[in-house]
Amino acid sequence: MTMRKRTKNGSSGLLSRLSLPIFALIVIIITFFASAASYILIRVQNDHTLNMADQSMKFVYRNVWYQFDTMNNVAAFILSNPSIEGLLENRYQQSYEAVGDYFALQTNLENLSLLSLLNDFGSRSAAKKSYVVSVALEPESGLFDIATDHFDPTTGIYKYDDLQNQEWYRSLKRGARQTEWWGQRTGQSNSTMIYSARTKTSIKDGRSIGTVIIGADTGSIQSVFENAQLEKGYHLLLDESNQVIFSERYSFLEPVGELPYVRAMEGNKGSLVSRIDGEQHRVMYETFANGWKLLTVVPESHFSQYTFAISAIGAATAIAALLIAGFILRRIVVRVTVPITRLVSAMHRPEVLEFKEPLPEQNSGIYEVDELGQKFSSMLITLHGLIEKSFVEEMERRQLQLELLHSQINPHFLYNTLDLINCRAIMAGDREASQIVRSLANVFRHSLNRGEAWISLGDEVRMVEAYLHIQQMMMDNLQVEIRVPEDILSALIVHLTLQPLVENAIIHGFAERTSECRIAITARLKDKAIILRIEDNGRGCDPERMNRMLRDHTGGEVEGRNGGMKTGYGTLNVHRRIQLHCGEAYGLRYADIEEGTCVEVVVPYRIRTEVLANV
């Protein structure tokens, strides 16, 4: 009964601990992806709607400016045409002599007014009057006397008298700008027109001859607005005084300068949000070169018209996905947790805990769960064997270490023995043997170093000096040069760094050399690092191959440059110990020299307090 209760309680706990976190994770994931998808769709839809409004505005802007540019070109043609220039500047004795030139100029103006660049409606066989092309002459022109006395906004040649009271004419004469633009109603039909005017001056002497006036009916740009209609919203074409030139909402020349969004416009182009008729609207605007502005006004609700539908679909999809995922999760978790709970119950049996028998086999119908039970049973038996084997090996290892400690030579016994030999050599008068014994004692004293991994650079150098002193007694031709600055002798380096490298140079570098053998040891401080340099004039080695061996940590033997010389184990041992204590940035590196071998040791500049802090 106890076992069954524990199994039941365990199954219930495992089920809740698995199902609740996994279901919460699924809820978070589905909610995140549903929200992200809805957000992306809403943004894409809103951006698409905004882009359509922007494209509509750009379409209107390009075509309206094309209309303005065409009017500028007609005026420029009249101002620069040599034939028209001659007709305007000719002098006549009698007025009737100018009649021929008058009608020639009138014909040119009529031909220019027949251009139809934007109005492609109606019959293509009949020319449409798109423009009013007129010239208001001043007394300086020879045709002034026979020009029409009163100005009429139709194609023709007039005297300038009626224009002097017009604001645009006075501004043009003041030279405020080269071209004046305005809109007005004209004629008996009260047609809505837009005009541009430019002063005609003599090419010869620069005197004012008259004013060239180009007019166009607003119907010429109406088709542009009709082809770029907005599903919701409207366009406005405003002059510099913020009067309406054309709009689907406002009438011609209606002043709109007091509208909040018109007052809020800053700069030549931009976008702003303003409340119009109780609803937020986005207003995009851009300024023409003549100072007029084109505005596109679209309600904000038009951009977010699909937001609710997309959000509702996303929420419904997320709820459906959660219900399906919860149902499937419940079935999976139950089928997995129940066999595992049974497996845990079997593991509480004393026979299993004592490794006397494997876990009983299960047949849950799920391959992974059944395989888990079988492999876990095998693992328990294998683990029991490994524990016993590991225990035996550890006992053997400790026994070997104990025997090794017993077999080690006592350093004090070694030093006392060397001192005894030294005294006997002195008493026998053998000075050379005494020096060898003292040098050997120094080598042992510094090499043992009381078991510490770090040693001062001065002690390391003294140990190498003692070692080289012994070598010099064995090799009469060995020359040694050691140059180490006194200010870095107190720095600490890894113990037994120089001696293996010096020994390597003597054993391998001078293996085939019997005279003029030289070893140079130098040290310098660079960028908070000590660089020890060991050079010899021996047989040499391949620096690139040696450096590659150090990088790869192969530990194998590497042939020298001339073949036959083997090295690598001692060098790699020094390199590994330096990197173990100092880091991967330090260690050994071989340099290429003309003769022999050069190896550099790079270690950090440290003092005793730094090493103790690291320890």
Q: What are the residue boundaries of the structural domains of the chain, listed by start?
A: 81-223, 356-398, 481-551+570-613
- Residue-wise pLDDT for 135-178, tens only, equals 999 888 888 888 888 888 788 899 888 888 888 888 888 887 88
**Architecture of the structural domain at 481-551+570-613:** 2-Layer Sandwich (3.30)
Torsion of CA 342, 347, 349, 352, to 10 degrees: 140
Crossing angle of helices 431-448/411-427, nearest 10°? 170
Helices and strands counted in the chain (H then E): 17, 19
- Residue-wise pLDDT for 293-347, tens only, equals 999 998 877 666 556 666 677 777 878 877 787 777 666 666 666 667 766 766 6
pLDDT of residue 126: 35
Take residue 158 and report the two structure tokens written for it.
Answer: 């007039």
Closest C-alpha among 121, 105, 76 to residue 214: 76
Contact between residue 456 and residue 610 where contact means Cβ atoms under 8 Å apart: no
Q: Provide CB contacts within 8 A for 79, sequence distance 6+.
A: 198, 200, 212
Estimate to the nearest angstrom the gap between the alpha carbon of 526 and the chain centroid: 36
pLDDT of residue 320: 80
Take residue 359 and report the two structure tokens written for it.
Answer: 């876990």
Closest C-alpha among 65, 63, 59, 104 to residue 196: 65
Rounded alpha-carbon distances, angstroms, from residue 106 to 74, 101, 102, 156, 527: 15, 8, 6, 6, 92
Contact between residue 541 and residue 564 where contact means Cβ atoms under 8 Å apart: no
Q: What is the enclosing helix (H) or strand (E) of 91?
A: none
pLDDT of residue 556: 41
Domain 81-223 has CATH 3.30.70: no
Residues of the chain with pLDDT under 50: 1-12, 116-129, 400-410, 412-413, 554-568, 615
- Residue-wise pLDDT for 440-461, tens only, equals 666 666 555 555 678 899 988 9
pLDDT of residue 369: 66
pLDDT of residue 533: 95
Whether the pTM exceeds 0.85: the reply is no
pLDDT of residue 119: 42
Distance, CA of 455 to CA of 464 (rounded, Å): 13
